[in-house]
Amino acid sequence: MRFTHLNIRDLILITPKVWGDNRGYFMETFREDLFRKYCWNINFIQENESRSSYGVLRGLHYQLPPFAQSKLIRVVEGTVLDVAVDLREGSPTFGQHAAVELSAENRCQLFIPQGFAHGFLVTSRMAIVQYKVDNYYSAEHDCGVAFDDKDLGIDWKLLPKDIVLSEKDKCQPLFRNAVYFKREDF
């Protein structure tokens, strides 16, 4: 596995080593020893999966402490544009974002620590996304940021008319009105 820091240092793209032959392929998708060495000492407690059609945008979501979540995201079918926004007040990259393509073909994973909003847009006909988290869902700590906030400057690569949102995501606050993570939270 190769661990690459993105433009926001705490975001890490993980590229697996894939062994293939005429039978198919094999790869390790998670190794605790390498994860602790190159990322964080984390205890993932739940794995989730979503299936979405072309143009579906899920996000930008996050949870506040004490239910903040780190995520390890991968795509098992299709392709998504995966985005993380730094919401950690005092961070040198506060308000900045990173965007990567995750796909079944490239088999890359994205590690997002606590303190970030996360979202993804399906750019293939359909996509299945799996992600591990280190904390359980809590509706009362659930927050979001508007995906199309001009202050964030995210290029989602699709026209707004082609983006499909949940009712919840249509009403997310602008970045300047969002609840941020305090320095003591991270």
Contact indicator for 124, 54 with CB cutoff of 8 Å: yes
Q: What is the pTM of this model?
A: 0.94
Catalytic residue among 62, 97, 131, 180: 131
pLDDT digits (tens, 9 = 90+) for 16-46: 998 988 998 888 889 889 988 988 888 999 9
pLDDT confidence of residue 183: 78
Q: For position 54, which CATH number holds?
A: 2.60.120.10
> Is 61 a catalytic site residue?
yes
pLDDT value for 102: 98
Catalytic residue among 38, 61, 141, 180: 61
pLDDT in tens, 105-142: 999 999 999 999 999 999 999 999 999 999 999 999 99
- Domain interval for residue 33: 2-185
Known catalytic residue at 131? yes
Where are the extended beta strands (E) located within the chain? Answer: 2-5, 12-15, 18-21, 24-27, 46-53, 57-63, 71-77, 79-86, 97-103, 109-112, 116-122, 126-133, 142-144
Total domains in the chain come to 1
Q: What's the pLDDT at 63?
A: 97
